[in-house]
Chain A
Amino acid sequence: MVLEVRNISKVYRKKKQKIEVLKNVSYQFEKGTFYWINGKSGAGKSTLIQIIGLLLSPSEGSILIENKDVSTLSDKEKAEIRNQKIGFVFQSFYLNPLMKAYENVMLPMYIHSKYSKEERKEEAFRLLEFVGLKDRVKHFPKELSGGEQQRVAIARALANHPNIILADEPTGSLDPENEEKILTFLKNLAKEGKCVIVVSHNPVTKEYADKILLMERHTIIEEKSYEK
């Protein structure tokens, strides 16, 4: 098992108000599987994915990556896990506008990385070729279309060969054609053995998903109990 959340709760405190977003969430994620987390807006999907990505600490509960409890690690150790074992893809692509495509892809490789300078560049070029942007490597983000930018982001998420890919609304701002391309890439990654978790309220995702999870009443309900 590559990833497990155990009894996760999350409470946001805004001034004196308490907002309970997640309540006792437990789930085990497997390798080689495409998960689609579905749910209404405000259900806590982004919160869950940020907790899984070690960007937020849960109020209660623990996260296990490769059977190791990582929720108690220091900021530095969590950062290293993010860098080595997790790849992120977002709705707004989040590319550095000052860096060319391949430089953006290289960004996670500068730390904790076994790459030399040349290897870094080679790997970035290879990854961009993999997402079909061979002739766009030296373009700046603003010179790329939305779909191309998202593919750069996917290449960047793969930079250090992580086993877990987290995507929050990855097709949220794309047209259907690019949507299909992105989801196909993610699907192929799952086929290669990675654990791909996609948060989306886009029903098309269903066609690609191996497992469908629904977030409701502050927790995860599996596909079996998902009534449509």
Chain B
Amino acid sequence: MKNKLLLATIYQFRRKSNLFNIFFIGIFTFLAILIGSYHSSSVHYMKYDIYDSFKQKTLIVTKSQEELEMEGITLDDVREDLNKLKHVTYVARFASFRNYLHSSLLEKEKQNGYVELYASNNSILPKIVKGISFTEENKYTMICPQNFFAIDNLEDLWYMKKKDGISTKQLLGQTIPFEYRSNSGMKTYTIELQVIGLYKNNRYHVDENVCYVEESILEEVLKNQYADDFDDENGVSNLVYQTDFAVQIDELENRSFVEKELIDKGYSVSPMSKVATEYFNEITKKMNNMTFGILSILFLFVLLVLQKKYKEEKKQYQLMVYLGYSKKDIRLIYHMSNIFNIIVSCLFALLISLVPLFLFYKILDIYPFLFHKWRLIVNYMPVLTVFIVSFVASFITSIFHTFYLFEDEND
């Protein structure tokens, strides 16, 4: 056995075409490692980003006007109450569907110029990639996404490419005039907001149209919207009846805990967003198909390479029959030499895959913000797959030729 192993392996490197085969299978394996790792990392990333986006971590919490009156408490009391809860990081007034503002400056071919405003503060803002966060001096500022699409329906993103979005290069520092109407439609208001920062986001249909402002700005907008919207009976602005709060939670896993607490306290609670799973599943499926595609090509390739190798070596196997090797011996030597080739290919692939890994970690060191949520998950599964695939291919080749090294019709 040891001798046969020696024979199978020792002369493989002297065959120049073998080095070629090893190189190509190695490159393919390397590609498979890259795709596999990209796959795993992306799945992880998307999970992290979609599931853990601020919308997932935000609850819309309400106590109706009647309940407030019955309990004899004000909205400020509610705010205080909510702020005291464990795991709650931020509480702001909220009015769903009232926070869309329009600017003709942001209208583009495929965009209708709407942005969604959310209240935020410096302690809970997402990572700023360019510009600055909120300052004391100027309240009329906003922080927009790095991947910015001025649309009122995120589902439109299905049909858009990155270039269809807002060019954020020109955006930073610009003052954008927005207009919005009062609820009755009678009055038009304008507000000018300067873009002072860009926050990190991705195209996951979660926040591509979301800009952050300070709460006072959002309150001004809400007040104006409800200014001419009076409850005739009581003669008060309907804003009074607007009692929603957005409650942001520190970690997603604490959401259900906070939800339960709030319900126990008599609030009605609903999450701001349900996960965009379709998109996520779509991407995962595409990745799976791609990996499968590469592996199928690899399988055919390995089969072809082994076929070629067998043809080149056939004469030597014939010689081995003369010299007293049994067909079983020869088949073993053939398989071992194939496996040896594949192992070297895989090692080669692993070796060259270290280069991009090294580079990636280097980049991560220098520009951590680029990948602040990105965790590289190296997937070496393809190597195992290549190995199994090659094993099967070697087997198929040997069966295909059945080692009729000497045509003997009497057998």
Q: Which residues of A contact B (CB under 8 A)?
A: 12-13, 50, 53, 55-59, 75-76, 79-84, 86, 88, 90, 94, 96, 98-99, 103, 107-108, 110-112, 156, 160
B320 — which chain A residues lie within 8 A by C-beta? 107
- From A50, A57, A79, A96, B324 is in contact (CB under 8 Å) with A79
Beyond the given A59-B410, A82-B321, A107-B7, could you list 5 further A-B residue pairs with CB under 8 A, ordered by the A residue number? A53-B322, A75-B327, A79-B329, A84-B324, A108-B323
- Chain A's nearest CB lies how many Å from the CB of B21? 15
B11 touches A96 (CB 8 A): yes
A75 — which chain B residues lie within 8 A by C-beta? 326-328
- Chain B's nearest CB lies how many Å from the CB of A18? 10
Q: Which residues of B contact A (CB under 8 A)?
A: 3-4, 6-7, 11, 14-15, 315-316, 319-329, 406, 408-411
Interface of A is mostly: mixed
A86 — which chain B residues lie within 8 A by C-beta? 324
- Chain A's nearest CB lies how many Å from the CB of B196? 70
Interface of B is mostly: helix
Q: List 20 A-B contacts (CB under 8 A).
A: A56-B410, A75-B328, A79-B325, A79-B327, A81-B324, A82-B321, A90-B322, A94-B315, A94-B319, A96-B316, A98-B15, A98-B316, A107-B319, A107-B320, A110-B3, A110-B4, A111-B3, A111-B4, A111-B325, A160-B324
B324 touches A80 (CB 8 A): yes
How far is it, in angstroms, between the C-alpha of A59 and the C-alpha of B326 when the chains are bound? Answer: 21
B409 — which chain A residues lie within 8 A by C-beta? 12-13
Report if A88-B328 is in contact (Cβ < 8 Å); known contacts: A13-B409, A57-B411, A110-B7.
Answer: no
Closest to B410 in A: A57
A111 — which chain B residues lie within 8 A by C-beta? 3-4, 324-325, 329
A56 touches B324 (CB 8 A): no
How far is it, in angstroms, between the C-alpha of A56 and the C-alpha of B328 when the chains are bound? Answer: 17
A58 — which chain B residues lie within 8 A by C-beta? 410
Closest to A140 in B: B14
- From B4, B406, B410, A55 is in contact (CB under 8 Å) with B406
Chain B CB within 10 A, most for which of A75, A103, A111: A111
Closest to B328 in A: A76
Report if A76-B319 is in contact (Cβ < 8 Å); known contacts: A56-B406, A98-B15, A110-B7.
Answer: no
